[in-house]
Amino acid sequence: MLNIDDAVSPASGLRGSEMSRPAIQHLLDIIEGSSQALVVHRGGAPLFVNSAMAKLVGIGSREELLAEPSILPFLHPDDRAMVGTNVRDRLAGRSAPTDYEFRLLARDGGIIWVDCRASVIEWSGGPAVLAALFDINARKEALQAQTRSEALLARAFTATPEMMALQSMADGRYVKVNDAFCRMLGRAAEDLVGRTPREIGVWANDGFDEALRSELAAARTVRMAEATMRPADGGAVTVELSAEILELQGDALLLMVGRDVTLHRLQEEDLRRSKQEAELANRTKSEFLANMSHELRTPLNAILGFSQVMRDELLGPLGTPRYREYADDIHRSGALLLNIINDVLDLAKLEAGKVELREETFSLPGAIRESARLVRDRAREGDLTLDLPLSDGDPWIVGDERLIKQVVLNLLSNAVKFTPPGGRVSVRIEEGASGAIVIHVADTGIGMSEEDIPRALAPFGQIDSAFTRRHAGTGLGLPLAKSLVELHGGDLTIRSGPGEGTDIAVTIPTRRVRSAERGPSSPASGGVTSTEMI
């Protein structure tokens, strides 16, 4: 606390004042209570300080600061010459800044930026400098941070490969453009800054700039817009751009960032066109094969029919035994070729969307048994057990019975083909989730790896192994079966492993299941055991 006795001491410079003691004390209380630091000096020892000054430089009390022999140690070395010159000029009556900034050094070594307001007063019979110091460290740090940020932004603005431009929202004139923007347009920066896009002819659509600024005024930001720029060489460049409004010193600026996507759009167009051409070619192929069904099957049926007549000598003996062998070869080859063509044509019809379901209610076990009869002889020839643990009649399902039989026949044919002698092939029916029906066709054959399953389900896919190479085929059995199951709204999945056999599950959806249902043309139950071993 600064008291009246200190104020009128010889060191204070106030002795002889005509002010009353209460007035002086009141003045001193104001000075001491001020938050700004005050110091009176002549460039050497401090003549007067308040507590705020002591606090500013990290000294415990004003008395301790007054005991310092000089104020110079509290000035930053880089600023001492400037402050000393201003003090000497001011004390000599010469012109000197009354408001300037410099750095102080706190007792702990910290740097304090201050704004100094200086004037000359009479003190103890001579002139002295009265300095009011304001701590501006926070302002300086904010300014330095802003300067660094602006420098980084300026560097990023210049160096980025993306084109960038700043425009006035008021009149659309370019304020700043980067090198990428200039290269895009084939123009120098001085030809762009200060002019509007319409004046330069930047956009293929002259109204694009006004529309962009109008949208920004409403939404404040635009993302992933596409436009066409017109470079100086008269070409066209497709750009993808984003924009937003920035406020700078009270002015609204449009910041636009864009990139050249011309090549990307051309590649997308080429890809789209290629996809359309491929789809057209695939549809043409599928439609051609589907339409060729009758033309291909008719001559094959004739070959098969006449070769069978010759083989069986229905019109009398051929005369030479080898002719009968040749007729048998012709018949077998024709039958194989017909099966292959049937598979190809069926798959082509499915791809062309020309297969329509002829739905009816039928016994699923009955359909499975009919399909199994067609592979019975091949199973016996291969020394295989064909196991059909099926119930009598149930379940009944709604679907295309011919196509479901074809699914089962394809799966059984594959199982018989790829199961070594002494193995087992079985078909069983289980109830799945939510009342669905699952048909399992399982075998103890060679199996396949997890990686091979997608290939087996692809049209014309073949699993390459010594065993499979001994068996001819097109690789259409599984893909065709899967497509027919999906046509019914079902699903086909495969569980297999090398040397562990294969289990193929065909799921018939719940909506197609009719448990314990008998249609008018349904066969009567009885006469078939629950488990058939062949």
* DSSP codes joined into one string, 337-364: HHHHHHHHHHHHHHHTT------EEEEH
Structural domain harbouring 181:
160-260
With vertex at residue 391, the alpha carbon angle to CA 390 and CA 397, rounded to the nearest 5 degrees, is: 95
Q: How far is CA 298 from CA 326, 338, 449, in A?
A: 21, 10, 40
Do 385 and 529 lie in one domain? The reply is: yes
The answer as to whether 13 is a domain residue is no
Contact between residue 172 and residue 252 where contact means Cβ atoms under 8 Å apart: no
Per-residue confidence of the chain (534 residues) as pLDDT tens digits? 454 445 444 445 454 455 677 777 777 777 887 788 999 999 899 999 999 999 999 998 999 999 999 999 999 999 999 999 999 999 999 999 999 999 999 999 899 999 999 999 999 889 999 999 999 989 888 888 877 877 777 777 777 888 889 899 888 999 889 988 998 899 999 999 999 999 998 998 888 888 888 888 888 889 988 899 999 888 889 999 999 988 877 788 888 899 888 888 888 888 888 888 888 777 766 666 656 655 666 667 777 777 777 777 777 777 777 777 777 777 766 766 666 666 666 666 666 666 778 889 999 999 998 888 888 888 998 899 998 888 777 889 999 898 898 899 889 988 998 899 999 999 999 988 888 999 999 999 998 888 888 888 876 555 544 444 344 445 567 888 888 899 899 999 999 999 889 999 999 999 999 865 444 343 333 333 333 333
Do 281 and 316 lie in one domain? The reply is: yes
Do 201 and 240 lie in one domain? The reply is: yes
Do 231 and 293 lie in one domain? The reply is: no
The answer as to whether 7 is a domain residue is no
Do 520 and 427 lie in one domain? The reply is: yes
**Alpha helix (H) residue ranges in 419-524:** 453-457, 477-487
The answer as to whether 49 is a domain residue is yes
**Alpha helix (H) residue ranges in 49-178:** 51-56, 62-66, 80-91, 137-159
d(CA 53, CA 39): 7
Question: Domain boundary residue among 318, 351, 384?
Answer: 351
The answer as to whether 445 is a domain residue is yes
The DSSP element (H or E) to which 181 belongs, if any, is: helix 179-185
Residue 41, both tokens: 């000096």
d(CA 441, CA 447): 13
Q: In 3D, which of 427, 390, 423 has the Cα closest to residue 412?
A: 427
CATH code of the domain covering residue 101: 3.30.450.20
Describe the strand order of the beta sheet including 111-123 as a list of residue ranges: 46-49, 37-41, 126-135, 111-123, 99-105
Do 367 and 504 lie in one domain? The reply is: yes
Question: Domain boundary residue among 112, 140, 168?
Answer: 140
Question: Domain boundary residue among 228, 260, 292?
Answer: 260
Helix (H, G, I), strand (E, B) or coil at 370: helix
Do 464 and 382 lie in one domain? The reply is: yes
Do 511 and 374 lie in one domain? The reply is: yes
Q: In 3D, which of 42, 236, 18, 32 has the Cα closest to residue 123?
A: 42
The answer as to whether 6 is a domain residue is no
The answer as to whether 8 is a domain residue is no
The answer as to whether 447 is a domain residue is yes
Helix (H, G, I), strand (E, B) or coil at 437: strand
How many domains would you assign to the chain? 4
Residue 104, both tokens: 């102080």
> For 531, phi and psi rounded to 5 degrees?
-130, 125
> For 162, phi and psi rounded to 5 degrees?
-75, 145
Q: Kindly provide the residue ranges of all beta strands, DSSP E only, lying in 413-479, ordered along the sequence.
A: 424-431, 437-443
- With a CB cutoff of 8 Å and minimum separation 6, the contacts of 486 are 492
Do 247 and 283 lie in one domain? The reply is: no
With vertex at residue 340, the alpha carbon angle to CA 471 and CA 459, rounded to the nearest 5 degrees, is: 80
**Alpha helix (H) residue ranges in 354-466:** 364-373, 376-381, 401-417, 453-457
The answer as to whether 22 is a domain residue is no
Do 120 and 172 lie in one domain? The reply is: no
Contact between residue 192 and residue 183 where contact means Cβ atoms under 8 Å apart: no
Q: Is the pTM of this model over 0.75?
A: no
CATH code of the domain covering residue 459: 3.30.565.10
Do 365 and 346 lie in one domain? The reply is: no
Do 367 and 516 lie in one domain? The reply is: yes
